[in-house]
Amino acid sequence: MMQTVLAVTAVILSLAAAGAIIRISRGPSLLDRVLASDVLLAILGAALCIDMAVNRHLNNLMLLVALSIVGFIGSVTVARFVADRREQANES
Amino acid sequence: MNPEASVVDNVIDTVSAVFLVVGALMSLAAAVGLLRFPDLLSRMHAATKPQVLGLFLLLAAIGLQLRTWWVWPVLLVAWIFQLLTVPVSAHMVGRAGYRTKHLHRELLSSDELDAVVQKAAQSARDESSRDEASDGGRP
């Protein structure tokens, strides 16, 4: 049963990652791309979780904890700089 | 191994399989939302699904599959850190999106931030005009 679950979730996550990548490449603004890359990170974490659950090991667990601790820094940084640049452009 | 234990094993396996599939479907829902929704704020709504509920379901499936009690605190730590950090990035992205007008204003049902922004801009204007007056016109 676990192998079936692995196949089904692999298909689902591949479709989801394709959707997020399409939004990254198309996305009209920079913030849309940041948001879609956050979703891509969540999909990657989901893939790590499913690998651990199906194969019953814990090799990725610390990677997952580190991902949930530092994963937000990138989008915060980009959002901060977007706000700064647009405000200066409005002033000048 | 007695038959009752294997029945329990089957139930736990089935529950964790359901958790895995539903957790993966959360990611698919987020991707569909990213592709179909019209503006940044509604896409942010869709993007939070795999980050909180999807991660919770998948971590619960790991805990059920491994059948050891000591993984649960580690999984709880991972989920709690996710709960603490996701709102920070969502706040920053939403703030930057509001400030840079990346939203369809006609889709909003109410905008409580608008009054606050107008008031802050008004008080900033007052402040700068008072500064110029007290400076005696110096730049």
The answer, yes or no, to whether residue A11 has pLDDT greater than 90, is: yes
Domain that holds residue B57: 3-105
Q: How far apart are CA A11 and CA A26, in angstroms?
A: 23
Residues of A in contact with B93 (CB under 8 A): 31, 34-35, 75, 79
Please report the pLDDT score of residue A85 as a whole number: 54
Residues B27-74: pLDDT tens digits? Answer: 999 999 999 988 888 888 888 888 889 999 999 999 998 888 888 999
With beta carbons under 8 A apart, name residues in chain A contacting B23: 46, 49-50
Give a yes or no: residue B114 inside a domain. Answer: no
13-32 in A: which are within 8 Å (CB) of B?
13, 15-20, 22-23, 29, 31-32
User: Mean pLDDT score of chain B, rounded to an integer?
Assistant: 85
Of chain B, the percentage scoring pLDDT greater than 90 comes to 35
Q: Which residues 62-81 of A are in CB contact (within 8 Å) with B?
A: 64-65, 68-69, 71-72, 75-76, 79-80
Q: Where are the domains of chain A?
A: 2-91
- pLDDT band at residue B19, thresholds of 50, 70 and 90? very high
Contacts 24+ apart (CB under 8 A), B9-13: B12/B64, B12/B65, B12/B67, B13/A1, B13/A2, B13/B65
Residue B118 within any structural domain of the chain: no
Average pLDDT value for residue range A24-43: 89
pLDDT at A22: 93
Tell me if B110 is assigned to some domain.
no
pLDDT at B3: 65
CB distance A46 to A27 below 8 Å: no
Mean pLDDT along residues A41-70: 90
Q: What percentage of residues in chain B have a pLDDT greater than 70?
A: 93
Beta carbon pairs, A and B, within 8 Å = 170
Query: Is residue B28 domain-resident?
Result: yes
From the list A41, A46, A40, the residue with the least C-alpha distance to A10 is A46
Question: Which of A29, A61, A68 has the highest number of chain B CBs within 10 A, making it the mutation to test binding with B?
Answer: A68
Nearest residue of B to residue A2 by CA position?
B17
Residue type, B8: V
What is the pLDDT at residue A91? 45
Closest to B54 measured CA to CA, from B82, B32, B33: B82
**Residue A52, min C-alpha distance to chain B (Å):** 7
Whether the predicted interface score ipTM is above 0.90:
no
- The CA distance from B37 to B46, in Å, is 8
Cβ-Cβ contacts under 8 Å, A35 against chain B? 34, 40, 43-44, 47, 93
In chain B, alpha helices (H)? 3-36, 40-49, 55-66, 71-99, 112-135
Contacts of A7 (CB under 8 A, 6+ apart): none
Total domains, chain B: 1
- The distance of A3 to chain B (nearest Cα, Å) reads 10
